[in-house]
Chains A and B, each alone.
Chain A
Amino acid sequence: MNDEPLVRWDWIARNWDNGGPSAIRTLLESHVVMALLPVVFGLLIALPLGVACARWRRLYQPTAGLMNVVYSLPSLVLFSIFLSFTGLTQSTVIIPLTLFTLAILIPAVVDGLGSVPEHVRQSAVAMGFRPLRRLLQVELPVAVPVVLGGLRVATVSSISLVSVGALIGQGGLGNLFIDGWQRQFPTPIVVGIVLIVLFAILSDGLLVLAQRLLTPWSRARRSAA
């Protein structure tokens, strides 16, 4: 790649929406889907599991242990394991990433519930909340800042891990890296990196915004402290 310029804008213009499966736009869309669905699924699963782990503490040790083992596996290994079940489909990326997300979000939910001050929990009991309503109206809302913190980590790491799926042909924007390396052509690589970073920044920004809107009481508390 000697006298090749770093970015060839004409290549970008031609390939942005060329109608085929390798169009940048198509790759971006599948990247978004494969990165965010695991976070959504992960949150939906982590909420009940985290609540259960916080409620019955002895569940937590084995669950957290298992999740840590999953998390320590290289993503490529997980992808290959699922390859034999789900083949060369998006599920082969989405399912392992959901597991990774769980490894972050279950502890976040447990820690979030643990962050509810004991006097707040006690006064909810004393006011006459029943357990389910107390969970939904007091404990989970107070846990939101910690859970959202976990969600930010899970989202950004999911966005970056999707690229590894390129090695099995399902990597969203990660496919651009393979393309660039194989052809010794830097433009796709740069485009991939820039779009992934922008996507990550945008997602994180939206989560921060959500945090401000959802928990005005917590932002102010931090700035006051």
Chain B
Amino acid sequence: MITFEGVTKRYPDGTVAVDDLSLQAPTGAITVFVGPSGCGKTTSLRMINRMIDATSGRILLDDQDVRAIDPPTLRRGIGYVIQQAGLFPHRKIVDNVATVPYLLGWDKKKARARAMELLELVGLDSKLAGRYPFQLSGGQQQRVGVARALAADPPVLLMDEPFSAVDPIVRASLQEELLHLQSELHKTIVFVTHDIDEAIKLGDAVAVLRVGGRLAQMADPATLLSEPADDFVREFLGKDRGIRRLSFVPATGIRLGSVPADLELDEDTRPLGWRSDGGLLPYGTFNPERDSLRAALDAALLSPNGTAIAVDGDGRAIGVATRDVLDEALARHGTRPEKRVPDPDREVPASDPRRAES
């Protein structure tokens, strides 16, 4: 767990970048710092690994004040990923990834073997190992940045807008992979972004900061969307809060009806379309085990008759949710979401409904 206790950072020119910040980033969870440009996200992050020292207040790593630890030693135990990846241009990919193991004095063979493992873990072809950073695409470089940060298996990972320099499609896949990695590795991650959608997609807890470095609200994404603390947070969250919040409601609770006769199925009972006089009509499906209420609603909107088809992992129809049933589910979740305050020892559930999105 990372604890900020009344942390203030005043730069020599008088700028107060962070003002009396107190919060906790729970062990094994992703805590996102989000806020407009200049609100002190990077400053807050860098105070954790002492690239910047706080003017007052304390930052505790578990129970130890980071100020009590020699900075290079502290940093070797904390992975760090930045926007431009910050790869060393003169080192091959494998050696870039092995940077911290080398610093820790591992022998070269072991460090490189570890680096190869990590390249595989982040989904990079092992033949890229011998290349130089400029020979990789932006998305690949960013993956190498993540692999490098993880090389010595640090319990804590700091990420400063790691995906904001790549295009939206690559960004989405990097986000998915981070969630996937996290479901296996359970690192304590502090992730900085100015993109609220990214914060909501990745965060177990989201800390919204306002300019001047003050904490506006810290909550889990569903609570943030349904109960923004003030106008600043509400405005920052943007439109469609209601519908976006449904991403956090699993579709498991939806009462399914039996598959109606006018749904055409193939021999494996996979849906083909709704029968009508003019041929088959389009349909939408959701997987109640994996998807969110938002996905179920979306599936209903795709069908002309407003009925969403529930399918299993193999795409076989297992039931349907009519509009009435969905309305019922919405009514149950529309007003107050269940609180999902991150528990320090909680593991991210493998079937996190966010994962099935996009």
List A residues at the B interface (Cβ < 8 Å).
117, 119-120, 122-130, 133, 138, 141-142, 144, 215-218, 220-221, 224
- B residues near A129, Cβ cutoff 8 Å: 72, 103
Collect the chain B residues with CB atoms within 8 Å of residue A117's CB: 84, 89
Name the residue among A119, A123, A144, A224 with the largest chain B CB count within 10 angstroms.
A123
Rounded to whole Å, the gap between the CB of A130 and the closest CB of chain B is 5
B89 close to A217 (CB less than 8 A): yes
Q: Which of A126, A128, A138, A216 contacts B88 (CB 8 A)?
A: A138
Cα–Cα, bound, A216→B90 (Å): 8
* Interface hub of A120, A144, A218 (most chain B Cβ within 10 A): A120
Whether A127 contacts B132 in the complex (CB less than 8 A), given A120-B86, A120-B89, A217-B90, comes out as no
- Nearest Cβ distance between residue B146 and chain A, in whole angstroms? 12
Apart from A125-B75, A127-B76, A218-B90, what are 7 other A-B pairs with CB-CB below 8 Å? Answer: A122-B86, A129-B72, A138-B88, A141-B90, A215-B90, A217-B132, A220-B132
Q: Given the interface contacts A215-B90, A217-B134, A220-B135, does A122 sit within 8 Å of B76 by beta carbon?
A: no
B90 near A142: Cβ-Cβ < 8 Å? yes
B134 touches A224 (CB 8 A): yes
Give the distance in Å from the alpha carbon of A221 to the alpha carbon of B83 in the complex. 20
A124, B88: Cβ atoms closer than 8 Å: yes
With both beta carbons as reference points, the residue of chain B lying nearest to A217 in the complex is identified as: B132
Q: Is B247 an interface residue (CB 8 A)?
A: no
Given A216-B132, A220-B132, A126 contacting B51 (CB threshold 8 A): yes
A218 surroundings in chain B (CB, below 8 A): 89-90
**Would A128 and B100 be within 8 Å (CB), given that A119-B84, A122-B51, A220-B132 are in contact?**
yes
CB-CB < 8 A to A133: which residues of B?
Answer: 103
A-B contact count, CB below 8 Å? 73
* A residues less than 8 Å from B72 (CB atoms): 128-130
Q: How far is the CB of A112 from chain B (nearest CB, A)?
A: 12
Measured CB to CB, the nearest residue on chain A to B84 is A119
When distances are taken between beta carbons in the complex, the residues of chain B under 8 Å from A215 are 90
Q: How far is the CB of B224 from chain A (nearest CB, A)?
A: 29
Q: Which of B64-101 contact A (CB under 8 A)?
A: 71-76, 80, 82-90, 99-100
Tell me, rounded to whole Å, the shortest Cβ–Cβ distance linking B358 to chain A. 28
Known pairs A119-B82, A122-B82, A141-B90; A128 contacts B135 (CB<8 A): no
Interface flag for B49 (CB, 8 Å): yes
Nearest-CB distance from B104 to chain A (Å)?
Answer: 8
| Contact of A123 with B86 at beta-carbon distance under 8 Å, contacts A129-B72, A221-B134 already known | yes
Complex Cα–Cα for A142 and B89 (A) = 7
Query: B88 to chain A: which residues have CB within 8 Å?
Result: 120, 123-124, 138, 142
Chain A residues with CB under 8 A of B71: 128
Residue pairs across A and B with Cβ atoms less than 8 A apart, 21 shown, are A117-B84, A119-B82, A119-B85, A119-B86, A122-B86, A123-B88, A125-B51, A126-B82, A126-B86, A127-B75, A127-B148, A128-B72, A128-B73, A129-B72, A133-B103, A138-B88, A217-B132, A217-B134, A218-B89, A221-B89, A221-B132
User: Which residues of chain A have C-beta atoms less than 8 A from B76's C-beta?
Assistant: 127-128
Q: How far is the CA of A217 from the CA of B329 in the complex (A)?
A: 58
Taking the closest CB of chain A, its distance from the CB of B190, in whole angstroms, is 13
Closest approach, in angstroms, between the C-beta of B48 and any C-beta of chain A? 11
Instruction: Please list the 3 inter-chain residue pairs (A to B) with the smallest Cβ-Cβ separation, ordered nearest first.
Output: A123-B86, A128-B76, A128-B75
Contact between A126 and B75, CB atoms less than 8 A apart: yes
Which of chain B's residues have a CB closer than 8 A to the CB of A123?
A: 80, 82, 85-88
Select from chain B the residue with minimum beta-carbon distance to A225: B134
Closest partner residue, chain B, to A141 (CB atom): B90
Provide the residues of chain B in CB contact with A130, threshold 8 Å.
72
Expressed in whole angstroms, the Cα–Cα distance for A123 and B75 within the complex equals 10
Q: Which residue of B lies closest to A224 (CB)?
A: B134
Give the CA-CA distance A162 to B76 in the complex, in Å.
51
Specify which chain A residues have a CB less than 8 angstroms from the CB of B73 in the assembled complex.
128
The listed residue with most A CB atoms (<10 A of its CB), out of B99, B148, B158, is B99
| Chain B residues, Cβ within 8 Å of A217 | 89-90, 132-134
The complex places the Cα of A120 from the Cα of B280 at a distance, in Å, of 58
**CB closest chain-B residue, reference A131:** B72
* Complex interface: chain B residues within 8 A of A216 (CB): 132
- Identify which of residues 115-162 in chain B touch chain A, using a CB-to-CB cut-off of 8 Å: 132-135, 148, 158
A218 CB → nearest B CB, Å: 8
Q: Interface centre among B73, B100, B134, B148, by most A CB within 10 Å?
A: B134
